[in-house]
Amino acid sequence: MNVSSSAITLAITGASGAPYAMRLLECLLQQQQQVHLLMSSAARVVFATELDWQLPAAPQAMGNALRERFKVSAEQLQVYGKEQWFAPVASGSAAPKRMLVCPCSTGTLAAIASGASDNLIERAADVVIKERGQLVLVPREMPLSAIHLENMLKLARLGVTIMPAAPGFYHQPQSIDDLVDFVVARVLDHLGLEQTLQPRWGYGEES
């Protein structure tokens, strides 16, 4: 598979927040972005719990299910298994320069901070950091322990963007979807992608 220079790696881990992941994936695909998707086993459990959607464990079957849902091609959306070490995302010579982990579990956060690279999600993040690409982590945990905060600080000092899934309320949300869109819109903003989910502060208001 050819990897576009603008391709994006999206990793989904086992933290609560499956709606954020699904909405983000939907928006990326709607913008014709090429997405390399990595999903942990725990994330599949969360999807079943929060979205009532039991995704297949096998990467190929999972990819087929997701492509059918979003009506996209295999060229646009590719799914890789956790030990698929020949995936483009595992090498600095081929990996996309932008990666999102949404939601990001504190376990994955710790592994990335330590450079563990024990599975493809951790390795892909390690590659983006070492290649000085853009890595955005969306943790969803509360309260945060000193360990969590120290890991976040360590990664932030390396240039990683930490964006907790903490929606605002100044836009007067009327539904859960509005709260989800708030977080997804901020992530898209940081990627430099156009979005109409949430107006930027001060725009569209009368002066």
| Residue stretches of the annotated binding site for dimethylallyl phosphate | 170, 186
List the structure tokens of 112. Answer: 């990335």
Beta strands 77-80; 98-104: pairing state: unpaired
Tell me how far apart the alpha carbons of residues 173 and 189 are, in angstroms, rounded to a whole number.
19
Could you give the dihedral angle defined by the CA atoms of residues 125, 130, 136 and 140, in that order, rounded to the nearest 10 degrees? 50
Tell me how far apart the alpha carbons of residues 46 and 186 are, in angstroms, rounded to a whole number.
23
Which positions make up the binding site?
14-16, 40, 105-108, 140, 170, 186
Tell me how far apart the alpha carbons of residues 135 and 149 are, in angstroms, rounded to a whole number.
17
User: How big, in percent rounded to 5, are the helix, strand and coil portions of the chain?
Assistant: 40, 15, 45
H-helix or E-strand spanning residue 106: helix 106-114
Which positions make up the binding site for FMN?
14-16, 40, 105-108, 140
Residue 29 and residue 3 in contact, taking contact as beta carbons nearer than 8 Å: no
| Residues contacting residue 54 through CB under 8 Å, at least 6 positions apart | 44, 47, 48
